[in-house]
Amino acid sequence: MKKFVLVYPPVTKEERYGSILGEACSRALPLGIYYIASYLQSKNYSVKVFDGEALDYKETDLCRDVLEYFAPDELCCIGISATTMAFHRALSVAKKFKEIRPDCIIILGGIQVTSNTEDALSFSEFDYGVIGEGEITAYELLECLYQNGDPKGVKGIAYYNASGELITTSPRPLIEDLDSLPFPAYNLVKDFSVYKPRIFEHHETPLVTFISSRGCTGRCTFCDNSVFGRTYRQRSAENVVGGT
């Protein structure tokens, strides 16, 4: 069976929120990687997710547990999601993966590589970058890797070739029919109790979230919408109710 592991790097709340007051803030499910996981499961991939932040992983332990999933003779593909804030942790984890298993293929996704592709992929630990929405792109890239194909034919990726040239393939069109996407792979969440609202929000726990729409026409200066774009798309009401 084709395997893939998705990783969110072990960022502390202090790093995420900029001070020790971050301990009072929420901890949410990293929806991006769980959506990709569910899409790959629908394509008969065996997928595991490691949320290094929520599970307070040490980098060494995280790398050990991830790599144990792959036999020595198996293709070892690992996806790491990173915002700009978490990029330094993603890079540190990627370096450890390469030190332990140099033949592993590391795919970087998320806002940082989408908005600042050249810089993010200038670090050789990252073999490929997924630009924009990741579900279909990740699947097609993995299929290409498993078949020893030419990645130039995969839309929405970037990578440096052997000559040191940055190759950026044609953009992946936005996913118009959100109903066609499965809901997050909640079956892969090991412990829902680690995800909590802010301390002054008295929601019942455990709780989970999902995305009912993508894209935003707003132009807020503090927001990077390069992943989902400015075209507003939404799931149907029937799909939302049926999926929850």
Yes or no: say if 36 and 79 are a contact pair by the CB < 8 Å rule: yes
Q: Indicate if the alpha-carbon torsion angle 175, 179, 184, 185 is positive or negative.
A: negative
| pLDDT per residue as tens digits for the range 160-219 | 998 889 999 999 999 999 999 999 999 999 888 888 776 666 667 777 788 899 998 888
Antiparallel, parallel or unpaired: β 105-109 and 46-51: unpaired
Q: Is 242 in a helix, a strand, or coil?
A: helix
Q: For the whole prediction, is pTM greater than 0.85?
A: yes
Non-local (6+) Cβ contacts of 200 within 8 A are none
**Structure tokens belonging to residue 143:** 């299929």
CATH code, domain with 2: 3.40.50.280
> What domain range is 188 assigned to?
1-244
Tell me how far apart the alpha carbons of residues 109 and 62 are, in angstroms, rounded to a whole number.
Answer: 18
| pLDDT per residue as tens digits for the range 16-72 | 666 555 555 667 889 999 999 999 999 999 999 999 988 889 999 999 999 999 999
Name the domain count of the chain: 1
Outline where 18-174 has alpha helix (H). Answer: 31-42, 59-67, 87-100, 111-115, 117-120, 135-146
